[in-house]
Structure 1
Amino acid sequence: MRSRGRFAVVVGVTTVAVLAGTAGAAGASDEAGGSTVARYDMNERPGARTMVDSSGHGLNGVVGSEVITGVSTSNATGYRFTRLEPDTPPTHPRHLATVGSAPALNPGGRDFAVTVRLRTQYHFGNIVQKGQATVDGGNFKLQIPNGIVQCLFRGDRGSLIVSSRSRLNDGNWHTVRCERIADGLTLAVDGRVEAKRLGRTGYIANSWPLSIGGKTACDQVGVGCDYYAGDLDYVQLEAR
């Protein structure tokens, strides 16, 4: 899949460079000038508690003790997030993998893409996000309500959301990519564009951590934690 010629496209575990031009300041350039902000291959051994950023930028994360690492399934090694009852106390902060806030992890005013490879049979939860719905500075996230993957970016110019056409909670591996550019969002599943929406989201920068597997600020009463259930093979962030 080519994503309007702006980013390195991730398919499975292979990165194909398609961006020409000068890389953004937030990441190292690949041969064609693309910029990977952070990549989490999630290949750590069982029991690992550090999520390694293989991009070389040192944006390593912390893996909560309820996240099962070193899970090998269908020729992939990744993390498993077990199912938790929605909106039911107590909270489970150890269900998450998190990366401390860093300027590079914020889209700012740049073109920005989030790619994940997931496998689930469930129909609920936030897969990856930075910030939450009402925080200053905006936010972005991928979520999977009713098995439909949705991508949302909210900035100082507005909010946009796009949704996959089909349910992805079929127990198979799927690669989901959401790309935010100046005038819209594009969502692709397994290399096929499934949704586009025009509009401007503007500048996005907050002081919150990058969270994988649910929300970091929640109580399961007034604010649900939206815990993801399923497997993840990798998460990659790119920018220009």
Structure 2
Amino acid sequence: MTVVLTVGTVLLTTAATADASSDRPVAIWEMDERSGARTMTDTSGRGLHGRIGSEVRTGTRTSGATGYRFDRLEPDSPPARPGHLVTVRDSDALDPGTRDFAVTVRLRTTHKFGNIIQKGQATVSGGNFKLQIPSGIVECLFRGSSRSLAVSSPRRLNDGRWHTVRCTRTGSGVTLFVDGAKVAHTAGWTGRIANSWPLSIGGKTDCDQIDVGCDYYAGDLDHVELEAR
């Protein structure tokens, strides 16, 4: 589902420096587990390990990187496929709260649909955040107690190449970086974001493909990292 961008998005092309969050990791998932693995290991030392669904293909090597492959599923076609997801149990550490917060993913896809990573969904209490890729454009959304802010990449990233996407939420706004360059910024303050939902990679956890689409991601991921200040 495509988010509506807040007025004030400004496209920039400077290097990703000052707007990046601090270097304190919340979780680091390298996604280099062997084929058939069912635990996504957090190498940050916090122990925020994830559960890999049975349909996620681990140990997939593509263009020099080893990661997870999420096969394409037809949008809004039941039944729901929870085996397509990687999930991490709810933890306060995974909630931005009022902290500066950053989400980084390294992705490769030729498809044009799906939610890459999220914690919470559009109407849940406590707000939510997510990265998605409608029409091949990566969009980042933070919805907090004050407002929702979103940014999107100025070009499509579903070109079959590896791209590193980083989205930061700070007191001054939400900023998007692609391959080290700042490409979008929306000014403002979202307010507090904290919910009781698990973090999911590859789509939604609460969906039925009838009334609520699962927005399943299709493509490869080989690194996901969360940071907070």
What TM-score do you get using the length of structure 2 for normalisation? 0.92
Q: Offset of 1:6 from its aligned partner? A: 4.7
If asked which structure has higher relative contact order (CA below 8 Å, sep 6+), I would say 2
Match of 2:131, SS? strand
For 1:185-204, list aligned pairs within 5 A: 185-204=174-193
Task: Decide which of 15, 38, 41 is 1:49's aligned counterpart.
Answer: 38
Provide Cα deviations, 1:23-65, integer angstroms capped at 9, x if missing partner.
Answer: xxxxxxxxxxx21000100000000000000101100000000
Match of 1:220, SS? coil
Aligned AA (1:2) = A
Q: Answer yes or no: is the 8 Å Cα contact 2:117–2:202 preserved in 1.
A: yes
CA–CA distance in 2 between the matches of 1:210 and 1:39?
13
Aligned AA (2:206) = A
In structure 2, what is the equivalent of residue 12 of structure 1? none
1:162 and 2:151 correspond = yes
In structure 1, what is the equivalent of residue 86 of structure 2? 97
Aligned AA (1:187) = L
In structure 2, what is the equivalent of residue 81 of structure 1? 70
Match of 2:66, SS? strand
In structure 2, what is the equivalent of residue 225 of structure 1? 214
Q: Give the gaps of 5 or more residues in structure 2.
A: 1-14
For 1:91-240, list aligned pairs within 5 A: 91-240=80-229
Aligned AA (2:97) = G
Q: Offset of 1:183 from its aligned partner? A: 2.1
1:4 and 2:4 correspond = no
Match of 1:98, SS? strand
Query: Following superposition, which runs of at least 4 residues in structure 1 exceed 6 angstroms of deviation?
Result: none
Q: Give the gaps of 5 or more residues in structure 1.
A: 8-18, 20-33
CA–CA distance in 2 between the matches of 1:231 and 1:96?
13
**Length, aligned pairs only:** 215
Aligned AA (1:235) = V
Aligned AA (1:135) = V
Q: CA RMSD in A?
A: 0.9
In structure 2, what is the equivalent of residue 11 of structure 1? none
Q: Offset of 1:2 from its aligned partner? A: 3.3
What TM-score do you get using the length of structure 1 for normalisation? 0.88
Provide Cα deviations, 1:129-155, integer angstroms capped at 9, x if missing partner.
Answer: 000000000000000000000000000
Match of 1:168, SS? coil
Aligned AA (2:76) = D
Q: Offset of 1:123 from its aligned partner? A: 0.1
Aligned AA (2:51) = V
